[in-house]
Amino acid sequence: MQEFEFDVFLAHNSKDKPQVRAIAEQLTRYNLKPWFDEEQIFPGDNIQQVVFQGISQSKVGAFFISQNGLGTFQENLELGAIIQFFLKKHKNQGFRVIPILLGINDIPDSLFYLSQWAWIQFTSFNDQAALKSLIRGIKGRGADVQAPPVIQIPDIPLIIEPKQPQTDDLASEKGIDYTRLRDLLKAGEWKEADKETYQVMIQVVGKKDGDWFTSDELLNFPCTDLHTIDQLWVKYSDGHFGFSVQKEIYLSVGGKADGKYYQAAWEKFGDRVGWRVKSKWIYYINITFDTLAPRGHLPVIWWGGWFSGKVWVLDMGLFNGWVVGGSGRISSLASRLVKCNSYLLTSSDS
């Protein structure tokens, strides 16, 4: 019989990631090894190949379903691969499919075929009865569920993603229309949204397509527009992308919000957000336009300006000159975000 590297493959909608992450951590405390995308997919990986490999190396496939529905990646890739692998391998190797309901009472009609397998319902990530059922499903019949060391953790209610209202603040000091940017981000069109971010920002500073940003322009970028752009990225990526996310990471690795270049901090920042892999800066064509990318991976518009109309940059990648310039720009934007936050807080109090 095949020896599996992972005990269970956790297929889920990215909107349910906080709850699935918490369940994965609890499984680990029971000496089980779950396949969880954040721990297994690295910058530069072929995502489809890594996912298929993870499924084939997992003893059990757990499929999480909530009111958030199925993510595009989950629906189009993981579900089909899990079912196919089950049908091919289950007779000889005991591969199991376990539907897991998060905060809902039954399998949706659109996924009725999953009803052929006994499912588990989690009322919260800390639902111990459901957790023990999942562990038994992973270990098999008659398995003893040994309790891990007692750890007091607060219960976190399931977060059901509400329908996004059409009430986004699209304010601009320069009369810029942010509707297209909002719509692209809402649809998860991350690459097109990155391009649109450059387009609106270059308009704000009064330049034309193909021009560059200077550190001074970012140090004086209108607060209202910066806040609008950043909040749209943060909102529609569930806090995964955005300038304020990148600022937080840059400052946490020793960067300073003063518009200057700090090599050590810039390289650590690149490592954290996935722009640098194995001590080498990646090519633009290797940017991952997906929420499976590391936190803060997007947007990338300050890497030497933007790349539309500069095909040779797209083909040849990012050289050290672009990287150094990028450091000054992210430092400038971090400085502006700090000042703008103070300005916006003061304005809201007045």
Task: Please name the helix (run of DSSP H) or strand (run of DSSP E) that holds residue 276, with its range, or none.
Answer: strand 276-277
Give the bridge partners for 66, in sequence order. 102
pLDDT of residue 303: 43
Confidence check: pLDDT of 328 > 50: yes
Q: Which of 4-18, 117-131, 143-157 has the lowest mean pLDDT?
A: 143-157
Does residue 321 carry a pLDDT above 50? no
Using alpha carbons, select from 72, 79, 25, 23 the residue that is nearest to residue 51.
79
* Average of per-residue pLDDT across 268-288: 85
Sheet holding 34-35, edge to edge: 34-35, 6-11, 58-66, 96-102, 120-122
Q: What is the pLDDT of residue 30?
A: 87
Please tell me which of 73-82, 143-152, 178-187, 259-268 the model is most confident about, judged by mean pLDDT.
178-187
Q: Dihedral angle at the C-alpha atoms of 219, 222, 223, 226, nearest 10 degrees?
A: -90
Cα distance between residue 248 and residue 296, in whole Å? 9
> Please, what's the largest Cα pairwise distance for the chain?
70
Mean pLDDT of 294-311: 59
Instruction: Determine the Cα angle at 70 with ends 98 and 67, to 5°.
Output: 90
- Whether the Cβ atoms of residue 185 and residue 177 lie closer than 8 Å to each other: no
Is the per-residue pLDDT at 137 higher than 80? yes
How many residues would you count in the chain?
Answer: 350
* 164 pLDDT more than 60: no
Q: For 212-264, what is each residue's pLDDT tens digit?
A: 878 788 889 999 999 999 999 999 999 999 998 988 888 898 988 887 778 89
Q: Of the given ranges (49-63, 101-115, 146-160), which has the lowest mean pLDDT? A: 146-160
Mean pLDDT of the chain: 77
Per DSSP, helices labelled H in 70-172 are 72-73, 79-93, 128-139
The model's confidence at residue 307, banded by pLDDT at 50, 70 and 90, is very low
- In the predicted structure, residue 166 carries a pLDDT above the cut 50: yes
Least confidently predicted of 27-31, 118-122, 155-159, 182-186: 155-159
In terms of pLDDT, which residue wins out, 314 or 263?
263
pTM: 0.51
Quote the CA–CA distance of 300 and 344 in Å, as a whole number.
25
Q: What token pair was written down for 89? A: 């391998």
- Mean pLDDT in residue range 144-163: 54
**Predicted pLDDT of residue 214:** 80
Per cent of the chain over pLDDT 90 is 23
Residue ranges and CATH numbers for the domains of the chain are: 6-139 (3.40.50.10140), 179-349 (no CATH)
